[in-house]
């Protein structure tokens, strides 16, 4: 029997619980797992039925009783935790987001079914919460590498990791931590969606005949950056979960290329057939611009028969501003996973253009 058939037989016996299955990371992961013949449950507070084969579960991660009831008949072999909840302070982020992981793994502990847990965090592991690295005056050395020590400041990513480590020691499962940069992918209603945010902004610029103005910092405009296609992250998560040599390890996750925004920004403008303006003297927050465009977006949706007229369901300008307003260039080192055999690569320009095409085909943008 060839290795492909053996692999298919192996994964056919796997049951995945994707936590946050409606988000960018979770939805793309669920689709990839289903392609690989996994049994896949998707846990969310408000599940959707838009992924064929996904078995949705509605539950509140902060309520143990809700989780216990929802997971009564579910015994996953693999847990993929891809969600978080934004709060007003980092202390609240720590309390709430660690509780979500702890509650879930405690409920699953009694089943003794879990063999592996994967947690998605991100580059704030190295940078710290935005206010911290923007104000402290101490910036990390780039490229960012997995072996860099934790920062000596509160960070909910660290609290999430510690919950996984504690449960793994108790229950004997293996784990992986995945640290993507900005995720590029299709997921409506997601709280951190740069690709959709820029698509909506560009569509408004085209409608009004105004230039596509760079909202971020000089360091980001001129410096080297990278991003993470959600499908690349999904591939890495499945690869790591399936490879014992990769277990119990943290991995950076990016497309594998690097770029400068001053190169990519004009190309995005050209895709939408609009003029652009680069960095000039100061940051020009996108949130300030889009906060005033709800009526314009409703007009655009009516004219083009689009399916979502609520601008806030599509754009998360606050998050795009945080990413593009960073006071340093940010790129990551991918050597650790490359050495172990993960070689998936994606051209970042293609990540954006493929997403824009999907959004247009889905009648999200004109």
Give the active site residues. 124, 157
**Could you give the CA distance from residue 61 to residue 44 in angstroms, rounded to a whole number?**
9
Tokens of 157: 């990513």
Helix (H, G, I), strand (E, B) or coil at 18: strand
C-beta of residue 10 within 8 angstroms of C-beta of residue 241: no
Instruction: Name which of 62, 74, 73, 70 is nearest 103 in CA terms.
Output: 62
With vertex at residue 59, the alpha carbon angle to CA 57 and CA 63, rounded to the nearest 5 degrees, is 155
Instruction: Name which of 83, 75, 79, 134 is nearest 110 in CA terms.
Output: 75
Label residue 361 exposed, middle or buried (CB < 10 Å: 0-12, 13-18, 19+).
exposed
Fill in the DSSP letter of residue 280.
B
| Terminal CA-CA length for the chain | 49
C-beta of residue 313 within 8 angstroms of C-beta of residue 225: no
């Amino acid at each position: 029997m060839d290795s492909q058939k053996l692999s298919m037989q192996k994964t056919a016996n796997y049951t995945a619980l994707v936590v946050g299955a409606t988000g960018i990371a979770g939805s793309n992961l669920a689709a990839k797992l289903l392609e690989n013949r996994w049994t896949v449950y998707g846990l969310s507070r408000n599940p959707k039925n838009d992924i064929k084969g996904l078995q949705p579960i509605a539950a509140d991660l902060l309520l143990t009783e809700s989780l216990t009831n929802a997971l009564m008949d579910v015994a996953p072999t693999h847990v993929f935790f891809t969600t978080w909840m934004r709060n007003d302070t980092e202390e609240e982020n720590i309390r709430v987001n660690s509780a979500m992981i702890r509650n879930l793994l405690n409920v699953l502990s009694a089943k003794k079914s879990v063999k592996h847990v994967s947690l998605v965090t991100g580059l704030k592991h190295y940078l710290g919460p935005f206010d911290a690295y923007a104000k402290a005056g101490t910036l990390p050395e780039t490229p960012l590498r997995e072996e860099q020590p934790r920062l000596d400041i509160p960070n909910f990513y660290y609290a999430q990791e510690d919950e996984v480590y504690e449960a793994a020691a108790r229950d004997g499962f293996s784990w992986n931590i995945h640290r993507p940069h900005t995720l590029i992918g299709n997921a409506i209603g997601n709280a951190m969606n740069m690709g959709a945010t820029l698509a909506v902004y560009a569509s408004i610029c085209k409608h009004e005949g105004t230039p596509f103005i760079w909202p971020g910092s000089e360091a980001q405009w001129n410096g080297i950056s990278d991003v993470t296609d959600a499908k690349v992250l999904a591939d890495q998560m499945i690869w790591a979960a399936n490879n014992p040599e990769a277990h119990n390890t943290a991995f950076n996750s990016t497309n594998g290329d690097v770029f400068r925004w001053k190169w990519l920004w004009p190309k995005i403008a050209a895709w939408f057939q609009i003029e652009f303006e680069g960095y000039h003297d100061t940051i020009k927050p996108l949130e300030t611009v889009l906060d005033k465009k709800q009526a314009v977006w409703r007009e655009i949706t009516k004219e083009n028969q689009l399916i979502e007229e609520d601008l806030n369901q599509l754009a998360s300008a606050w998050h795009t501003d945080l990413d593009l307003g960073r006071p340093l260039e940010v790129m990551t080192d991918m050597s650790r996973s490359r050495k172990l055999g993960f070689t998936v690569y994606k051209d970042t320009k293609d990540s954006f253009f493929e997403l824009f095409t999907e959004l247009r085909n889905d009648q999200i943008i004109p």
